[in-house]
Amino acid sequence: DEQSGKEKYKLLVEGDNLRAVMATHGVKGTRTTSNNTYEVEKTLGIEAARTTIINEIQYTMVNHGMSIDRRHVMLLSDLMTYKGEVLGITRFGLAKMKESVLMLASFEKTADHLFDAAYFGQKDSVCGVSECIIMGIPMNIGTGLFKLLHKANRDPSPPRRPLIFDTNEFHIPLVT
């Protein structure tokens, strides 16, 4: 470090015993990170896992020359962790997030999900974005949230206003 004159090292370790690494003498636990979100969740909790997901997605995108607003990545990580555990954006993770047949069918294995739902008599409330798109129903978000704010009283016909050329003084008779 140029300011303090002390040497600092970074150590890259393959493996996943975060708790043991953090407890190692000479290692600052507050400066120790892992890219294994499940290990971070197990060791430090769901909020630390959420932060790890955000950092890893941002790191990956930046290294591929892409930039994504951090708020979008935060929204994705919130979706992946809101149940109190890390859930992937896979058919297995989505099945744990929501009990919607149409949402599961829109992702992967459409026929299997629809067959199982018909066989077991499952119902779908059709309240999510995917479900509404499949059914052709406008979603109640954004501009589709409001149906009618104010009904204006309108006369069936607009009032008649006299025009300048309606008066007789501007009428010129045609000579025959």
The CATH number of residue 110's host domain is 1.10.150.390
Cα dihedral value 95, 99, 101, 106, nearest 10 = -50
Q: Does any domain span residue 120?
A: yes
Structure confidence by residue, pLDDT tens digits, 41-77: 999 899 999 999 999 999 999 999 998 899 999 998 9
Q: Does any domain span residue 155?
A: no
Q: Does any domain span residue 110?
A: yes
Q: Does any domain span residue 25?
A: no
Counted domains in the chain = 1
Whether the model clears a pTM of 0.75, i.e. scores above it, the answer is: no
Give the span between the Cα atoms of 54 and 62, in whole angstroms.
Answer: 12
3 state SS of 63 = helix
Range among 2-11, 21-30, 34-43, 158-167 rated most confident: 34-43
Structure confidence by residue, pLDDT tens digits, 91-146: 677 767 677 888 888 777 888 888 888 888 888 888 777 788 888 888 777 777 77
What pLDDT score was predicted for residue 64?
Answer: 92
Q: How many CA atoms lie within 13 A of 91 on its CB side?
A: 11
Q: Answer whether residue 175 shows pLDDT above 80.
A: no
Residue 28, judged by CB atoms within 10 A of its CB (0-12, 13-18, 19+), counts as exposed
Residue 102 belongs to what domain range?
A: 97-142
Q: Does any domain span residue 56?
A: no
What pLDDT score was predicted for residue 67?
Answer: 87
Q: Does any domain span residue 121?
A: yes
Q: Does any domain span residue 134?
A: yes
What pLDDT score was predicted for residue 149?
Answer: 64
Q: Does any domain span residue 127?
A: yes
Burial 73-83 (b: 16+ CB within 10 A, else e): bbeebeebbee
Q: Answer whether residue 163 shows pLDDT above 70.
A: yes
